[in-house]
Structure 1
Amino acid sequence: MIASDVRDFLEKLGYDVQTSLNHREHMQLWREWYRGKVDSFHEYVIYNGIKEVKRTKKSLGMAKKSCEDWADLLLNEKVKITVDDAYQDILEGCLSENDFQAQSNALIELSFALGTGAFVEYASASTQSGCQIDYINGNMIFPLRIRNGRIIDVAFASQIGDSKYYVNIHEKVGNQYRVENIIFDAEKGGNYSIDKIPDDVQRIIYSPVPLFQIIKPNMVNNSDIDEPMGMAVFANALDEMMDCDEKFDSYFNEFQLGKKRLFLDPSVINVTPVTNGKNKSVRPAFDPNDTTFYAYGGGSDMKEKIKETEFNLRVDEHSQALQDALNLFSDKVGFGSDHYVFKEGKVYTNTANIISSNSKMFRRLRKHELILKKALEDMVRAVLYVSNGIVYSNDIQVDFDDSIIEDKDTERKQDQADMANGTLRKDEYRAKWRNETLEQAQENLPVEADALP
């Protein structure tokens, strides 16, 4: 109910929430796939000759797996953010006490699952740096004004009680950003009352820099091209996920049902035991919820009261069919085919091959990095403003992890060869491989002219 309560409250304040109800329904479906169980698909019944038995399809959880993999590729422990030396310690201190490394990776995963996420910064006396970073998932984001597909004004919400909500509204007013903090109570009858905010929270503040950054997969939301919110990275791969789970469930059932199958004449289903002398009671001889047994309606035409059958397990056929389904899914979410390998009953990520720079995965990774890089740069400016009161306008360097994509050993050997034949300078080599600026590399070069940096 949080989305409808917050939406109604914002509209009563005069805001026009830009996210459609249809998009919220899509987000709920993506959330179910991310959870790994979609009731409308994974729950089904099978008739065993006596009754319908409820069953649940096995799930590979590929929605979550794909989001985890994109998060690990985009924002892992090897990503480095660099600013001027005077502010580097301030930045690293703030990121460390806000558990940025773990929380930002989780936010990328959730953003790729629900379509949208956000960093939000605000002043806080509870941190040594004075800056707190919130990591907001798409369920708590309410766009209020859009320009050229970008969210300009936005509200973030969280539930803090049975009917109470905290709302943080960001609006661009001229060259500044107005941020308002509100706590409201959604009372019965559709009424709302505004509560007093804590003493350590300012009701309204102004900032020369935006104190929020939106992140989402860099892909057009084709479910609604006018929707400002993003879409799940697997939103167009629902059929492929269903195909994966259908075949995985069949693979599992192949071993469950392939052991033996017993066809029973109805006359052997019930037995009549004698108890307490003359008293008699009837009970089923077999568990009616067990799909291994099937009551055959042949009656007296059956030559055998119980007929046992055995099947040859179709392991190779299932494995190949499941691998084909995984290839289709992998390609649909941007990894290209052969990213996932089904082996020994498990799904593995294929790390045997180095991804070339012209591969689909490489191009899609670079595309996603465009949005993330801008968000990280704006986040750094917000952190430095909140923690230190400065408007930082110098360069911010965001170095993403390329080690998974490129053959670093081969590239480094080539650079060493170029340095040996004079086509690459030692300071250029050191700056590249030690992650230093050119000036720092020149200062840190060894005294020996022929030493390898």
Structure 2
Amino acid sequence: MNMNYTNMYQALRKILDKDEQIDYAMSGRTAAHIELWSKMYEGRPPWVNETTQSAGIAAAVSGELARLTVLEVKSEVSGSAKASYMDEVYQKVIEKLRIQVEYADAKGGLVFKPYVNADGISIQYIQADNFFPLEFDTEKITKCAFLDQFRKNNEIYSRIEVHTLKEGTLNIRNRAFVSKTEGMLGTEVPVESVARWSDLAQEITIAGTDKLPFGYFRVPLGNNQDSESPLGAAVFSRAVEHLQEADRRYSQINWEYESKETAVHIAQSLLKYRKDTDSFEYPAGKKRLYRAVEYNTGATDKPFMDTFSPDIRDTSYFNGWNHLMRMIEFDCNLAYGTISDPNNTDKTAEEIKASKQRSYSFVQSCQTALQHALEDLVDAIAFWCDLYHLCPSGTYQTSFDWDDSIVTDVESERQSDRLDVSMGAMSLWEYRAKWYGETKEQAKAAIQLPEDTVVE
């Protein structure tokens, strides 16, 4: 559990400002955006109320882009016995990568943070609303804080772990607080006085390192609401207004069906009254279908029954909904037809093709950013292995194989190959072998070229 992210950031700044002067990289506006993105992903945006429900599109967009980013990815650490030890830890990260990338896409970033325990090395996945980047040197984080909280009885325990890198020296400091009030850090207590954190050192300093020991995946999007922020932004950050409108439209569609639900208005005099339950008994127990009303015509009741079944205006609503989905797809770098109706023909073939190319480009940027984060994670694993002598020394290399079918525009590549054939830079049998899945012999036979023919 954790408190309101914006309040937590303000409380953290008050604590840190007492000890040192920090040129904070993250503004209060950025903290508020991270908090909003988190709530939208969880289906709890501030505009949800009794009449407006969440359609869950923010989560759907985050999940789909995460799927496209890590689809069929293969990565390993190799090169020595040390690399094999590291790879055992690393493969557990790869197994969970899609889910963790979804959380990063939803909140703008994620930290892969290795730590040493009794079993060796484990990885902690810290989402953006539990991570506070404090200072940067160009694009490299040089100071940050992590939040760990739990509740016991009526008290809230908070641990702030601050990492600082200065002139090749890493300093890690743990501070613990206890409070009985939500939204406040409360009173500082010794870290060792809290049973859960009693094994943690209050402060350690390590020389000879050039970066903080973790991998930070930053979603490669600018924050159009805070252009000074060095942090990433949620993949749906530019669609907030359209997502709000989509939630309203979704709720209107639900109400259209609910309010037009078939019903039979029936006079109470036609129903059997049961004294034991002090209620009317509906035909065949269909209470949902029948609505008891009291009809008065003059001095006496007149038995009456009327069917309520108006037309549902779903076509107009769904057209409006689909138009909103198209705008959200554009805002979120998704190809048209990803969350909108793929059978809708209001976009030209060229527009659809351009949207796919835009999506390919963004996914490729995400893969590049994720690869940098994973490489930093591997370096961090090696850092702790060397520091605690967890495995033999040795070299290591990290390899990556991303699924090119997602980020390659196949149609453009095929058109390029056709031009090469027409120019003579590529033979026709090579083209057939590549695009028709034929062997060299099959391709040459298909175009009636003898085996010993030389293609100019």
Residue in 1 aligned with 2:224?
222
**Distance in structure 2 (CA, Å) of the matches to 1:294 and 1:234:** 47
2:379 maps to which of 375, 378, 381: 381
Q: Which amino acid aligns with 1:361?
A: S
Aligned to 2:16: 10
Letter in 1 for 2:173: E
Q: Identify the residue that residue 435 of structure 2 maps to in structure 1.
A: none
- Partner of 1:14, secondary structure, is coil
Map 1:78-97 onto structure 2 (within 5 A): 78-84=73-79, 87-96=82-91
Deviation at 1:213, TM superposition (A): 2.4
Alpha-carbon RMSD across the aligned residues, in angstroms, is 4.8
Alignment correspondent of 2:58: 63
Q: Give the 3 Å change call, closer, same or farther, for CA 335–409 of structure 1 in structure 2.
A: closer
Q: Choose from 28, 31, 54 the match for 1:24.
A: 31
Q: What is the distance in 2 between the residues matched to 1:343 and 1:336?
A: 10
2:187 corresponding residue in structure 1: 191
Q: Note if contact 1:9-1:192 (Cα within 8 Å) is conserved in structure 2.
A: no
- Alpha carbons of 1:373 and 1:393: their partners in 2 closer, same or farther (altered >3 Å)? farther
Relative distance call for 1:61 and 1:236 in structure 2 (3 A) is same
Alignment map for 1:391-402 (pairs within 5 Å): 396-402=398-404
Superposed CA offset, 1:301-326 (max 9, x none): xxx98865533333443333322221
| Aligned 1:175-254 pairs, distance under 5 A | 175-186=168-179, 190-196=186-192, 198-199=198-199, 201=201, 203-206=203-206, 208=209, 209-254=211-256
Structure 1 154/359 Cα, relative in aligned 2: closer, same or farther at 3 Å? Answer: same
Equivalence for 2:166:
173
| Structure 1 residue identity aligned to 2:135 | R
Q: Which amino acid aligns with 2:310?
A: F
* Pairwise CA distance, 1:67: 0.8
Indicate if the aligned counterparts of 1:66 and 1:333 stay in contact, CA closer than 8 A: yes
**Post-superposition CA distance 1:161-196 (Å, at most 9, x none):** 443222222111212322223334347895322332
| Structure 1 alignment gaps of length 5 or more | 45-55, 345-353, 425-453
Q: Indicate whether 1:151 and 2:168 are aligned.
A: no
Q: For structure 2, which runs of at least 5 residues remain unmatched after alignment?
A: 283-287, 344-351, 428-456
Deviations 1:275-319 (A, max 9, x none): 89xxxx999x9xxxx999899xxx99xxx9886553333344333
CA distance in 2, matches of 1:405, 1:95: 24
C-alpha separation between the residues in 1 aligned to 2:108 and 2:385? Answer: 30
- Residue 310 (structure 1) aligns with: 309
The AA in structure 2 aligned to 1:198 is S
Q: 1:333 to 1:95 in 2, by over 3 A?
A: same
Quick check: 1:322–1:342 contact (8 Å CA) kept in 2?
no
AA at the equivalent of 1:321:
G
3-state SS of paired residue (2:65): helix
Deviation string for 1:235-256 (max 9, x for gaps)? 2212222333333333333333
Matching of residue 116 in structure 1 with residue 109 in structure 2: yes
Q: Distance in 2 between matches of 1:326 and 1:292?
A: 37
- What SS class does the counterpart of residue 94 from structure 2 fall into? helix
TM-score between the two structures when normalised by the length of structure 2: 0.68
Note the C-alpha offset of 1:212. Answer: 2.0
Q: Which residue of 1 aligns with 2:128?
A: 138
Cα deviation for residue 422 of structure 1 reads: 12
Cα distance, 1:65 vs. partner?
0.7
Going from structure 1 to structure 2, the CA distance change for 1:29 and 1:23 (only over 3 Å counts) comes to same
- Name 2:364's counterpart in structure 1: 366
AA matched with 1:168:
E
Equivalent residue number for residue 330 of structure 2: 331
Superposition map of 1:394-413 within 5 A: 396-406=398-408
State whether residues 175 and 188 of structure 2, in contact with CA within 8 Å, keep that contact through their aligned partners in structure 1.
no
CA–CA separation in structure 1 for the residues paired with 2:318 and 2:291? 27
* Contact 1:115/1:230 (<8 A) preserved: yes
Structure 1 residue 396: Cα displacement:
3.7
Q: Distance in 1 between matches of 2:373 and 2:17?
A: 28
Corresponding residue of 2:69: 74
- Contact 2:104/2:128 (CA < 8 Å) preserved in 1? yes
Name the CA shift for 1:41/1:200 in 2 (closer, same or farther; >3 Å): closer
- Contact kept, 8 Å, 1:356 with 1:362, in 2: the verdict is no
- Mapped to 2, the partners of 1:342 and 1:74 lie a distance apart of 22
Whole-angstrom distance in 2 between the partners of 1:391 and 1:294: 81
CA distance in 1, matches of 2:374, 2:219: 14
> Per-residue displacement from partner, 1:86-140 (whole Å, max 9, x unpaired)?
55422321124xx31343332221122122221112332323xxx2221101111
